[in-house]
Structure 1
Amino acid sequence: MSYSKNQNSSSYFIDIIRGAFLGLLLTFILIIIFTIILTYTKLSEEFIPLINTVIMILGITSGAILTSRKLERKGWLTGGLIGILYFLIILIINKIFIKDFTTDIYLLIKGFIAILIGCIGGMIGINIK
């Protein structure tokens, strides 16, 4: 019985990782689309932070909904873990590619938003039939 429990636990965390990477995939696709729109239109660059936050929310929500729907249990926990993992991966990518990347209150707020949105997405996903 212990082996079965560990196997289910490892499968659960693999699903969390898949959910986070699914959200990241959607994020990168949306960033490419936004970059093309920004390049070929007169859209002001002042909208970049807002659009990036919306893209983050869409990425986390999609990963949390699809994963929670598949697992059919622990929706808020699943979504919250996906939000945390997604945010940590984005944080690492930013640290690697942005030389003057700084940690400030806005980053902490975005981290909180990532967890909250993940929890909400997980609760939505578990209730979708």
Structure 2
Amino acid sequence: MKSNRNIEFNNEGIIWIYLKAILVACIFVILVFVFMALVITYTNVSESIIPMASSIVMIISCLICGLYTGVKQKRKGWLKGSLAGFIYAFLIIIMSWVFIKDFTIGTNVLLKSLIGIVAGGIGGMIGVNLK
């Protein structure tokens, strides 16, 4: 018995889509941090903006990650975008654990993870609705 549903499958694998989304988000982060470094070096802007700016950049990069997966997968953008945001936030936590000597998992890390999941979900919902 045939189903009446028309389902479109992408030629790209799901894992490859998530890897590309994370790569796009990482490129965005690198470009923004290089720009911030230049601004801090050559202007009178204080280094005290770094923690706030890094949090904002992380939120935007999770949004971009979710947006990319939503555009590519075209269904369930909130779920797939949230998963992309979670994976991206998890990778940041792992890198922080490896590179920061006194890194501890506390409420700040859990809050950033939750914000990454929500931002990825919002990006996924936006991505699914883009034409």
TM-score (norm 1): 0.85
Structure 2 partner of 1:99: 101
User: What is the distance in 1 between the residues matched to 2:100 and 2:30?
Assistant: 17
Aligned length: 122
Could you give the per-residue CA deviations for residues 56-87 of structure 1, whole angstroms, max 9, x where no partner exists?
A: 11211112112211211110111111111111
Could you give the per-residue CA deviations for residues 74-129 of structure 1, whole angstroms, max 9, x where no partner exists?
A: 10111111111111111121122211122221111111000000000000000011
Structure 2 partner of 1:40: 42
Q: Which moved more, 1:56-65 or 1:79-88?
A: 56-65
| SS of residue paired to 2:37 | helix
In the TM superposition, 1:1-129 aligns within 5 A as: 11-129=13-131
Q: CA deviation at 1:45?
A: 2.1
User: What is the distance in 2 between the residues matched to 1:88 and 1:35?
Assistant: 25
Task: Please say which structure displays the higher CA radius of gyration.
Answer: 2
Gaps of 5+ in 1: 1-6
User: What is the distance in 2 between the residues matched to 1:19 and 1:33?
Assistant: 21
Asked if the contact 1:24/1:86 (under 8 Å) is kept, the reply is no
| SS of residue paired to 2:13 | helix
User: What is the distance in 2 between the residues matched to 1:109 and 1:49?
Assistant: 14
**One-letter code aligned to 2:62:** I
Runs of 4+ in 1 over 3 A off after TM superposition: none
| SS of residue paired to 1:42 | coil
The structure in which a higher percent of residues are helix is 1
Q: Which moved more, 1:31-40 or 1:78-87?
A: 31-40
User: What is the distance in 2 between the residues matched to 1:26 and 1:107?
Assistant: 21
Aligned residues: CA RMSD? 1.8
